[in-house]
Amino acid sequence: MSEDKSQLKIRFFTREKDESLQVEDNPMYVPITLKRYGLSEIVNHLLENSTPTPFDFLIDGELLRTSLQEYLVKKGLSSETSLNVEYTRAILPPSFLSSF
Partner 1 sequence: RETQMESKLETAPRSLEESRQLWHSSEIATADLVSRLGEQLRLILEPTLATKLKGDYKTGKRLNMKRIIPYIASQFRKDKIWLRRTKPSKRQYQIMIAIDDSKSMSESKCVKLAFDSLCLVSKTLTQLESGGLSIVRFGEHTKEVHPFEQQFSNDSGAKAFQWFSFQDTKTDVKRLVAESIKIFERARSFNNSDQWQLEIIISDGICEDHETIQRLVRRARENKIMLVFVVIDGINSSESIMDMSQVTYVPDSFGNMKLQINKYLDSFPFEFYVVLHDISELPEMLSLILRQYFSDLASA
Residues that bind partner 1 (CB under 8 A): 5-7, 9, 26-31, 41-42, 45-46, 78-82
Least Cβ distance, residue 22 to partner 1 (angstroms):
16
| Phi, psi angle pair for 18, to nearest 5° | -60, 115
Per CB under 5 A, contacts with Mg ion among 68-97 are 80
Nearest distance from residue 23's CB to Mg ion, in Å? 24
Q: Which of 5, 17 has the CB closer to partner 1?
A: 5
Tell the smallest beta-carbon distance from residue 74 to partner 1 (Å). 15
Per this entry, what is the length of the chain?
Answer: 100
DSSP string, 32-81: TT--HHHHHHHHHHHHT-SSPPPEEEEETTEE--S-HHHHHHHHT--TTS
Interface mask toward Mg ion for 17-56; x: CB under 5 A: ----------------------------------------
Are 17 and 53 in contact, with CB atoms under 8 Å apart?
Answer: no
